[in-house]
Structure 1
């Protein structure tokens, strides 16, 4: 069923607006801010994470246990699909890059810096650094929005991916430094394996030798962040040249996106083979 759900998720994402209607985090974020400023729980970040992440995940798990024996598990399928769609990343990745691409294509570095700060929350000291950070943004957002979600769903199911997305929301939106730190630690553990598998996928669909050189020293490292690793591996696999203003710089983003699409096809092919063998 997992592979069918992942195929349906792509169809729903491409041909409907369900994702925008489903991904409404306002209520959960209000509870986050209420608990992290609570006199009783404000200094207990682990308890806040338990209440906001472990409890919803437990409720989902109990619901699936109840529904799974009914009608050969068909009643559980829409629940799986809704959780997968909800757990995907927020926003339109390519749409968010549109204004930056237009400004960079014109060679207007000032406008590019403005829209990068406004739309992507990216700041840089130079045009070259700005493009490099946007490239890293593209790779990281594609990973955490899609690849991490489908990996953990196929491996461990909807409860884990719901936990992953709620953990990401807590890290991104919390105003409590201690809670952000704890959420970051847990998320780092979640990301350690899938980000390395994606980097290995880049080697198979891109420049194998270049990615191998990057991965050689970082393969088992716990200290490097997922964002840093995926940025290094992606740029190496796609053979991204030095940053340039104009159409050449925009083409580097297109090259990275094509690399991500090839990696996604490879992952789905592997999922299909695995599903057939089981």
Structure 2
């Protein structure tokens, strides 16, 4: 049944994302409002945020175990499905990427930057000075977001159940939305630790779903790197797995200057297709584990 929950949650959430509905960040922002005011000099403390995430996690853990041991066992899966739908998702990307690609095709890089600037973190906006840098920054942010909002949560749900998925999603929300900026780096380190293994599994999936030879030459070395951050692993692995210089805009422009205006749209399409094929790889592997009896 876990396999069915994963499939249903993914399909429903993708449909909601395409309609830009039910932003999963809103409940976390509301929950963290209590941390907006802290005594002077204590902005870096993290325990209030940790407590706000741990309490619902523990409550759900107890509820899940109680349901599994009671006559209401069948309710655990609808509950998991509902909560997973609320945890997954990244609405807003589809429309922005389409507008970005259309602006790129017109050669209007100022408009392209304007359409996606809200998708980038503040430090990333300052790094994207040229069209090539902007596109690589956007590609890295898009892949990282899809990884965190889908692959990472589904991995931990399958491994640890819905309570662990909430803990992971709460950690990501603390990193991104905790009101006190001084505490966020600590939450970011925890998020990177939780993403270490799933990011490398997704990197391996890129090799299976894309150009295996290219991935072996560029993606495999970073796979065994202990200190590389998840976003670095994903970008370099995808660069190796994609053909046609989809993540090498400078080289593409040098080799195919007459096709430069189509690069933005073609590159984003290649990235989305690679992510979709990689998710299919995950689903197939999970199905095999279910058949073999390694999953419930």
TM (norm. structure 1) is 0.90
Instruction: Give the drift of 1:23.
Output: 3.0
Q: Give the secondary structure class of the aligned counterpart of 1:239.
A: coil
- State the match for 2:62 in structure 1: 62
- State the match for 2:21 in structure 1: 20
- State the match for 2:152 in structure 1: 148
- State the match for 1:204 in structure 2: 208
Match of 1:265 among 235, 256, 280: 280
After superposition, the C-alpha distances for 1:190-224 in whole angstroms (9 at most, x for unaligned) are: 00000000000111111223222334432333321
State the distance in 1 between where 2:279 and 2:200 align.
14
Q: Give the secondary structure class of the aligned counterpart of 1:20.
A: coil
Structure 1 unaligned residues grouped into runs of 5+:
none
Instruction: Count how many residue pairs are aligned between Structure 1 and Structure 2.
Output: 277
State the distance in 2 between where 1:15 and 1:218 align.
34
Stretch moving more, 50-59 or 81-90: 81-90
After superposition, the C-alpha distances for 1:8-36 in whole angstroms (9 at most, x for unaligned) are: 1133224568993473634x424424225
Contact 1:57–1:160 (8 Å) recurs in 2: yes
Distance verdict in 2 for CA 1:254–1:152, change over 3 Å? same
Q: Give the secondary structure class of the aligned counterpart of 1:89.
A: coil
Q: Give the secondary structure class of the aligned counterpart of 1:45.
A: coil
- State the match for 1:100 in structure 2: 100
* 1:173 aligns to 2:174 (yes or no): no
State the distance in 2 between where 1:175 and 1:75 align.
35
Instruction: Give the drift of 1:240.
Output: 4.9
Distance verdict in 2 for CA 1:214–1:78, change over 3 Å? same
Distance verdict in 2 for CA 1:94–1:181, change over 3 Å? same
Equivalent runs, 1:1-278 vs 2, <5 Å:
1-15=1-15, 20-21=21-22, 23=24, 25-26=26-27, 28-35=28-35, 37-39=37-39, 42-43=42-43, 45-71=45-71, 73-120=73-120, 123=125, 124-241=128-245, 242-243=248-249, 244=253, 245-278=260-293
Q: Give the secondary structure class of the aligned counterpart of 1:193.
A: helix
Contact 2:195–2:230 (8 Å) recurs in 1: yes
Distance verdict in 2 for CA 1:64–1:172, change over 3 Å? same
Contact 1:36–1:45 (8 Å) recurs in 2: no
Q: Give the secondary structure class of the aligned counterpart of 2:46.
A: helix
Stretch moving more, 265-274 or 62-71: 62-71
State the distance in 2 between where 1:111 and 1:276 align.
50
